[in-house]
Amino acid sequence: MTERKPKEARVREDLPAIDPARLRGMFDDLSAIGGTPGGGVTRLAASREDGIARDYLRDWLDREGFRVHIDQVGNIYGFLDLAGAGAPLILTGSHLDSQPLGGRFDGAYGVVASCEAVRSVRAFGEARSRPFSRNLGIAAWTNEEGTRFQPSTLGSSVFAGLYEPAAALSQADRDGVTLEQALAGIGYLGTDDPPSRVESYLELHIEQGRRLEDGGCAIGVVEGNWGTVKYVADIQGEAAHTGPTPMKERRDALLAAAQLVILCRTLSDETDGELVTSVGRLDITPNSTNIVAGHVRMFAEFRALDSARLADGCRRFEGAAARVSSPGLSISLRRTTERAPGSFDSALCNLVEAVARIRGYRTMRLHTVAGHDAVPLRAVCRSGMIFVPSVNGVSHSEKELTRPEDMEAGATVLAGALYALATGTDGL
């Protein structure tokens, strides 16, 4: 494997260093909450397991002297008033919820690394009597994954003013439980105000791809995001017996869904993968071996870096849905997510790159295909992201893995960047 930290690297002593053992210990503690036999986690948003993970984080913040707020959609914030009340805030964080049978690193690593980085920044600054000009904060956003409740990045979108709190709280899971009910059930339907005067947000995350690993780079400088459109398609047919009902008389909702699933893959193949498409979930009713499906709810998504290509794929998908509809079989499409391609703050990109190089880590500039909380935060403050490698690019799987040395590298770069921002030395 390519060496990621050249021997000749010059390590500056005027940037904070994190404690790898402390980072790993906290990560292992959190990984045990909702842990699965296959080595992953199932910690759906506002579930019992999510509540336990939230308690763990809140207890840590309390012990470390953070001022803790929980807002009306359950976002958790921990504040250190290093520069005094009213000073601008530098915010970092990620999310605690996971996919079902998901990986340990997605989101949770970013929260744990933020805790270790901010703790290290405070101790480093106090030991050197370095004045802080900015306050520091940690955020754990609600329902980033969008698995139990739609859409994804829900808590951060509410914070950024892109989604109404009441609309977010009214979202229901497949059992009819609303986000409001679920948060109340675990004690995280908060009443605190979200932070104001947020100047910058910096999020550390696993790449969930393999470009960094293939390139032998420890740090990804994320320049921007691909655009994403997600659909919920309600396909209404007619339930009927799978035996005696004549084929020509069937109004099979699952057959219509299958045609659209194949179309999604075809649209991507035509672009050689520059349009990424997927259908990850089908809810079939009545879902019996002896009944023609009467209703299917299908979850489809389209991603592209080029906005024109994304729009063309969506147009063709919507046109196909209209053509598949017929007497006795209707398809209703609803867009749950419309995320345009965009760029992160260039100064934050430059800062991350500079800190990584000072620390001796090889870097790569890239765009994120997946959505993250840093994307909606861009609407209200300077926003940026740091990636670390994912082994074999695997994510949203129990096999998800990031090596300890890469976890340490990401937290180290995050700490250096936060310190520079909080002390006004981000010009380095």
For the chain, the domain total comes to 2
Helices (H), 325-361: 346-358
Looking at residues 73-91, what average pLDDT do you find?
97
User: Which CATH number characterizes residue 28's domain?
Assistant: 3.40.630.10
User: What residue has token string 């990109």?
Assistant: 349
> What does the pLDDT look like over 310-352, one tens digit per residue?
999 999 999 999 999 999 999 999 999 999 999 999 999 999 9
Residue 9 covered by a domain: no
Give the pLDDT confidence score for residue 3 in this predicted structure: 40
Q: What angle do CA 89, 204, 68 make, to 5 degrees?
A: 45
**Of 292, 313, 295, 294, nearest in space to 303 by CA:** 313
Give the pLDDT confidence score for residue 129 in this predicted structure: 79
Residue 12 covered by a domain: no
Cis, bond preceding 16 (omega within 30 deg of 0): no
Give the pLDDT confidence score for residue 13 in this predicted structure: 60
* Total number of residues shown for the chain: 428
Q: Which two tokens stand for residue 243?
A: 């035996």
Question: Of the candidates 307, 339, 371, which is a domain's last residue?
Answer: 339
Give the pLDDT confidence score for residue 426 in this predicted structure: 77
- For residues 217 and 211, what is the distance between their CA atoms, to the nearest angstrom? 8
Question: Of the candidates 299, 316, 339, which is a domain's last residue?
Answer: 339
**Of residues 426 and 52, which shows the higher confidence score?**
52
The answer on 291 and 259 residing in a single domain is: yes
Looking at residues 385-396, what average pLDDT do you find?
98
Helices (H), 278-362: 307-324, 346-358
User: Which CATH number characterizes residue 328's domain?
Assistant: 3.30.70.360
In 369-415, at which residue ranges do the beta strands (DSSP E only) sit? 382-388
pLDDT band per the 50, 70, 90 thresholds, residue 428? low
Residue 219: DSSP 8-state: E
- For residues 272 and 276, what is the distance between their CA atoms, to the nearest angstrom? 9
Q: Look at residue 5 and tell me whether its pLDDT is greater than 60.
A: no
Cβ-contact 163, 378 below 8 angstroms: no
The answer on 41 and 85 residing in a single domain is: yes
pLDDT band per the 50, 70, 90 thresholds, residue 7? very low
The answer on 171 and 28 residing in a single domain is: yes
Question: Of the candidates 324, 339, 354, which is a domain's last residue?
Answer: 339
The answer on 261 and 144 residing in a single domain is: no
The answer on 237 and 184 residing in a single domain is: no
Phi, psi values for residue 310, rounded to 5°: -60, -45
Cβ-contact 277, 300 below 8 angstroms: yes
Q: Look at residue 8 and tell me whether its pLDDT is greater than 60.
A: no
Residue 232 covered by a domain: yes
The answer on 253 and 129 residing in a single domain is: no
pLDDT band per the 50, 70, 90 thresholds, residue 169? very high
The answer on 247 and 200 residing in a single domain is: no
Q: Which two tokens stand for residue 369?
A: 């295909």
Helices (H), 89-226: 108-127, 154-159, 165-169, 179-186, 211-215
Cis, bond preceding 286 (omega within 30 deg of 0): yes
The answer on 333 and 368 residing in a single domain is: no
**Of residues 386 and 86, which shows the higher confidence score?**
386
- For residues 29 and 8, what is the distance between their CA atoms, to the nearest angstrom? 35
Give the pLDDT confidence score for residue 124 in this predicted structure: 96
Looking at residues 269-278, what average pLDDT do you find?
98
Q: What angle do CA 122, 127, 133 make, to 5 degrees?
A: 50
Cβ-contact 153, 141 below 8 angstroms: yes
β-bridge pairing 295-304 and 275-285: antiparallel
- For residues 72 and 69, what is the distance between their CA atoms, to the nearest angstrom? 10
Provide the greatest CA pair distance for the chain.
83
Q: Which two tokens stand for residue 397?
A: 């799987």
Residue 15 covered by a domain: no
The answer on 126 and 69 residing in a single domain is: yes
Q: What is the distance of C-alpha 113 from the center of its chain? A: 15
Q: Look at residue 2 and tell me whether its pLDDT is greater than 90.
A: no
Residue 5 covered by a domain: no
Please give the full DSSP string across 228-239, using - where no structure is assigned.
EEEEEEEEE-B-
Cβ-contact 347, 165 below 8 angstroms: no
Cβ-contact 82, 134 below 8 angstroms: yes
Residue 132: DSSP 8-state: P
Cβ-contact 292, 241 below 8 angstroms: yes
Looking at residues 407-424, what average pLDDT do you find?
97
The answer on 313 and 258 residing in a single domain is: yes
Q: Look at residue 392 and tell me whether its pLDDT is greater than 90.
A: yes
Q: Look at residue 52 and tell me whether its pLDDT is greater than 80.
A: yes
> What does the pLDDT look like over 280-320, one tens digit per residue?
999 999 999 999 999 999 999 999 999 999 999 999 999 99
Per the structure, the complete domain to which residue 356 belongs is given by: 20-225+341-422
The answer on 74 and 174 residing in a single domain is: yes
Residue 427 covered by a domain: no
Residue 237 covered by a domain: yes
Q: Which two tokens stand for residue 129?
A: 């009597």
Please give the full DSSP string across 173-198, using - where no structure is assigned.
-TTS-BHHHHHHHHT----PPPP--E
pLDDT band per the 50, 70, 90 thresholds, residue 11? very low
pLDDT band per the 50, 70, 90 thresholds, residue 130? confident
Mean pLDDT score across all residues of the chain:
95
Say how many CA atoms lie within 13 Å of 130 toward its Cβ. Answer: 19
The answer on 361 and 326 residing in a single domain is: no
